[in-house]
Chains A and B, each alone.
Chain A
Amino acid sequence: MDYYFIIFAIMAVGAAIFTITVRDALPSALGLLTVFIALSALYLHLHAPLIAIFQVSIYAGAILVLVVFVIMLLITPDEQLGSPQKNISYRSMGAILGAYLIALLIIGMKGINQIVSRKGLPDGFGHPSLVGELFFKHYLLHFEMASVLLLVALIAAIYLAKKKL
């Protein structure tokens, strides 16, 4: 039994359920923070320290902080979120999307039996320089595509935020 994995997996799933069920905005965000930290602990367990650190510093340290910032601007501690969505078409759309995601997960899990756990890891596995080499040699096009996509999103956000350019 891999106790390390089980502890953090339970932590991640529990915190995720907390995040979507709790009616308070900031505790919900903190639940998401716990999910990120538990995931980062799992990455560490998989010998991927660099990804673990990125998980914390980018998702928890930048993206979620912005979410929390908006929560603090809009919601006072006395308020709770409104009642759940009543619109039937929204709810059914959500159900279809959810079913789609679950189907994707199940398809992904089909090959799980074929994964053989390798005892020895290749030399220097998970070292930052190796990750960098993969990025800039083998996956350079994918990397650049992602950065262009982000740039487009950035320009769009500035266009939306500023009425007069």
Chain B
Amino acid sequence: MADWQIELIKVVFIWAWALIIAVVMTWVERRASAMMQDRLGPNRAGPFGLLQPLADGIKLFTKEDIIPERARKILFVLGPPLFALPAFSAYAVIPFGDKIVIGGKEIILQVSDVNIGFLFILALSAIAVYGLVIGGWASNSKYSILGGLRATAQLISYEVPMGLALLTIVLLDGTFSLREIVLQQQGTFLGFLPNWGFFKQPLGFIIFLVAAYAEANRVPFDLPECESELVTGYHTEYGSMRLGLYLFGEYVNLVTLSAITVCLFFGGWSLPYVDMSKFLGPVSYGIASFFVFFFKQAFFLFLFVWVRWTVPRFRYDQLMGLGWKALIPLGLVNLFITALLVQLTT
């Protein structure tokens, strides 16, 4: 196979995979919430209601596509794809496994190992906000504009602590490449802990996780779309598959954020204490590393659901206060201490 064919297969595979996880996540969300509230949840379509996402998809596709009369038509149509695309693109730089050897050819399980992979993800998360803003403004409705305003303010505020938390990892590992960051997390730390970013940067991890929940617009930070005050905010006026794209983009965002968490703080595809490449063949090692990565990612995906159905929503001023008065100073202090330690030890 030529190189470009391999690249193409990787791109198609990872997009399809992210899509499938996102689809399954909609089902997990509803079943898990039902479990936590002592309900049954969707259980009619297929075994355990597994075909429910498919039924939802058919419903969204066949519904009438309504564009409000006073909406700005072009911008209204442009909003949902602008929101969903950056979420997908971020997957291009995430290493979803180590490497696999097929027919004497070594294939790394990552679409592209660029030396600025890390900044690429930050830039994309900055672009994603335009989808919300355009959708909210173009709808020409009070709720939507309020939702869009909240989304902008929230995403700008929480990008700063997120960047500060991620910078500590860059300081420790000395690289922007996600693959190299994962490779540096193998082995042990202090003799008994896995050499993961989580153990070296516990505070950085907590700041990152809180900021990630805010970036993903999830409870407790779902102020831009809170149902009880804003009637789902920026996508109030949307229906049919345009609404579907917004909802779906959000789940793809969760998938990407969990993957980044695993890469930066939990050792990516490597197992703690065990070097899988020693006793597995080249092909089975590749597959095993892929699944190790996936199971770690699945835990963080479930954590998103778990938190959503456990804690209540913040008030808007509390949200801003937490971002600017707690997370940013904490992030700065953490960065300073890390820089000092790195300077003293090397």
Q: A30-B134, A77-B72, A77-B137 are in contact. Are A65 and B156 (CB under 8 A)?
A: yes
Tell me whether A26 and B134 are in contact (CB under 8 A): yes
Q: Which of B123, B138, B149, B155 has the most CB of A within 10 A?
A: B123
- With both chains docked as a complex, state the minimum distance between the C-beta of A80 and any C-beta of chain B, in angstroms: 11
Also in contact, A53 and B116, with CB within 8 A (given A60-B127, A77-B140): yes
Q: Chain B residue with minimal CB distance to A54?
A: B119
B331 to chain A, nearest CB (A): 16
From 135 to 158 in chain B, residues with beta carbon under 8 angstroms from any chain A beta carbon are 136-138, 140, 145, 148-149, 152-153, 155-156
**CA separation between A25 and B115, bound complex, in Å?**
37
Q: Which of A6-14, A67-75, A114-122, A148-156 contacts B (4 or more CB under 8 A)?
A: A67-75
**A65-B126 in contact (CB<8A):** yes
The answer to whether B153 and A69 touch across the interface, beta carbons within 8 angstroms, is: yes
Q: Is residue A45 within 8 Å, beta carbon to beta carbon, of the partner chain?
A: no
B138 and A77 contacting across the interface, CB-CB below 8 Å: yes
Contact (Cβ within 8 A) A62 B156: yes
- Distance, CA A22 to CA B127, complexed state (A): 22
A59: nearest chain-B partner, CB-CB: B126
Secondary structure at the B interface, as helix, strand, loop or mixed, is: helix
Contact A53/B123 with A33-B130, A78-B140 known, Cβ cut-off 8 Å: yes
Knowing A49-B116, A56-B123, A60-B126 touch, does A26 contact B156 (C-beta < 8 A)?
A: no
Q: Does B122 contact A (CB under 8 A)?
A: yes
A147 adjacent to chain B (CB < 8 Å):
no
Q: Which of B123, B127, B145, B155 contacts A72 (CB 8 A)?
A: B145
List, in ascending order, chain A residues with CB within 8 A of B88's CB: none
B155 nearest CB neighbor, chain A only: A65
Q: How far is the CA of A128 from the CA of B138 in the complex (A)?
A: 39
A53 to B148 alpha-carbon distance, docked (Å): 25
The minimal Cβ–Cβ distance linking B137 to chain A, given in whole angstroms, is 6
Bound-state Cα–Cα, A49 to B148, Å: 31
The chain A residue with its CB closest to the CB of B125 is A61
Bound Cα distance from A54 to B133, whole angstroms: 21
CB-CB nearest in chain A for B163: A57
Within 8 A of A (CB), among B191-216: none
Report yes or no: B115 in contact with A128, Cβ–Cβ below 8 A: yes
Given that A69-B152, A127-B115, A128-B116 are known contacts, is A61 also in contact with B127, CB under 8 Å in the complex?
yes
Contact A30 B130 (CB under 8 A): yes
8 Å CB contact of B114 from A26, A49, A54, A65: A49
Residues of A within 8 A of B71 (CB): 77
Chain B residues in 8 Å Cβ range of A50: 116, 119
- B225 on the interface (CB 8 Å rule)? no
- Smallest Cβ distance from B266 to chain A, in angstroms? 24
Of the candidates A26, A33, A73, the one whose C-beta lies within 8 Å of that of B149 is A73
The chain B residue with its CB closest to the CB of A73 is B149
Report whether B152 and A56 are in contact in the complex, using a CB–CB cutoff of 8 Å.
no
Q: Does B294 contact A (CB under 8 A)?
A: no
A56-B127 CB under 8 A given contacts A72-B149, A73-B149, A77-B72:
yes
CB distance from B36 to the nearest CB of A (A): 35
Complex partner residue of B156 from A53, A66, A128, CB under 8 angstroms: A66
Asked if B245 CB lies within 8 Å of chain A CBs, one says: no
A98 contacts the other chain (CB 8 A): no
Residues of chain A whose beta carbon lies under 8 Å from any beta carbon of chain B: 26-27, 30, 33, 49-50, 53-54, 56-57, 60-62, 65-66, 68-69, 71-73, 76-78, 127-128
The 10 tightest CB contacts between A and B, nearest first, are: A61-B126, A57-B123, A56-B123, A77-B140, A53-B119, A69-B152, A49-B116, A53-B123, A57-B126, A77-B72
Would you give 20 A-B contacts (Cβ < 8 Å), ordered by A? A26-B138, A30-B130, A49-B114, A50-B116, A50-B119, A53-B116, A53-B123, A56-B126, A57-B122, A57-B126, A60-B126, A61-B122, A61-B129, A62-B159, A65-B126, A65-B129, A65-B156, A68-B130, A78-B140, A128-B116
